[in-house]
Amino acid sequence: MSGLRLKLTLQARDGKARAGRVELPRGSFETPIFMPVGTLATVKAMTPGELEQLGARVVLANAYHLHLRPGEDVVQTCGGLARFMGWPGLILTDSGGYQVFSLRSLMRIDDDGVSFRSHLDGSLHTLSPEQVMAIQAALGSDIAMAFDHCPPSEAPRAEVEAATERTTRWAERCVETPRPDHQVRFGIVQGGLDLALRLEQMQTLARLPFEGYALGGLSVGETPEQMHRVLDQVVDVMPADRPRYLMGVGRPEDLVLAIGAGIDMFDCVMPTRNARNGQLFTEEGRVVISNARYRDDPRPPDPACGCSTCRTYSRAYLRHLYQSREILYSRLATLHNLHFTLELVRRTRRAIIDGGFSRFASRFLDKRDGAG
C-alpha cells in the first residue's frame, strides 16, 4: 500500500463475503456498497439531499458524457463535480469505456485511443487514456476509472484478446498521467468470459499502482450463470487489500450472489431505469405496476419496505400515476427502488458482520421466484 491514497480495513468475513471500510482523502464509506448512477451529474428524479437521506455515500458520474456536455472546463470552473451538482458525498467517475462498447458503431478504436462522432451532434472527437484521465482530474472526482476497451460478450476470442491487451496498455498509460492530490484510481479487468484472459490480466494489473480493481465487461449480454462463473474464479485472485468493484450489475439476486463471491462495490442504472419503466423491486420479486391487477390494490408496493413511498402510497395510486405519465410517479418509484437496493446491500453487510450471510442469502434468493 506504500504510496497509495486509499486504505481498506476489513472488519468481518463470512465465507468469501466481506465487510469493510474504505478511507479516501476526502471521505470514507462502508462496504459492501451500492453506488447510484448519476451519469450526467444527476441521479434521475432524485435530489442530492434525497440520496443522502436514503443512505447513499458514493454516486457515479460519466466522464465521456460530461466531456461532451457541459464540458469538464465548465465543471472545473464551477468548483468541481461535487459542488457543481450539490452532492455532499463522494463521486466515482467512469472513464467512458462502456460507451466504447455501447456506441461502438460511432467509433474507431486503435492503440492510441478512440475516435468517435458525438451521439449528440455528430461532431468528431478523440479520446486517449491520457485525455480521459485528464478529464476526470478536471471533474475532480474522488475515484477515477482507467480507460478500458470492453468487447461484446459474443465477440470471437481473438477480438476479446486484442481488447484485453489494449486495456492493459491503456492502464499503463493511465497510471502515468497526473492527478489531483485527493483522487484515487481503479484499474479495470477485461477478458470477456475467457477465464484465462481474465486471470492473466488481473495478475498484470495487480503490479500497477491502482488503489482498487474493477471487473468490467460483465452484464453486457451474457447469462447470469456465465457471469457468476467468472466471479467464482477471478475474484479470488483480486488483491485482498484493495476494493473489488463489479461494474454495471444491479439485479438484486446478482448483488447478493456477487457479495457472496467477495465483491465490495457495485453500480447500476437498473434501480432507477426500471423504476421509470414501471418495475418496482420487492422482497419477493418485481411488481410490474402497469398490470391491471393493481388498478384497485390498496397495498403498498412492498409491505416489507420502510421507504416513504411504501409508507404513504398504494399500488393503485402508483399505477394511476404511471398510466397518467405523471412526473411524480418517477420520483416515488425511483425513491423506492433505490431504497430497496441500498437497504439490501446494507442488510448483507449486517449479515456478514453477524456471521449469518449464508442463511440470509439463501432465504433472500429462495423468495425471488414470485414476481408481481
What are the beta bridge partners of residue 23?
Answer: 7, 28
How many CB atoms within 10 Å of residue 2? 4
Cis? peptide before 70, omega within 30° of 0: yes
> Which residue is catalytic, options 94, 148, 264, 297?
94
Task: Mark whether 94 is an active-site residue.
Answer: yes
What is the chain's alpha carbon radius of gyration, rounded to the nearest angstrom? 20
Task: Mark whether 121 is an active-site residue.
Answer: no
> Which residue is catalytic, options 14, 254, 267, 297?
267
Q: The C-alpha cell of 234 is what?
A: 477471478
Phi, psi of 312 (to 5 degrees): -120, -35
Helices (H), the chain: 48-54, 63-68, 72-77, 81-85, 97-102, 129-139, 157-174, 195-205, 224-234, 252-260, 270-276, 308-312, 315-323, 327-354, 357-366
Is 216 in contact with 148 (CB distance < 8 Å)? yes
Query: What gap in Å lies between CA 230 and CA 199, rounded to an integer?
Result: 10
Q: Which residue has the cell 413511498?
A: 309
Q: The C-alpha cell of 176 is what?
A: 502515468
Q: Report the Cα–Cα distance between both ends of the chain, in Å, rounded.
A: 48
Give the residue numbers annotated as catalytic, written as ranges: 94, 267
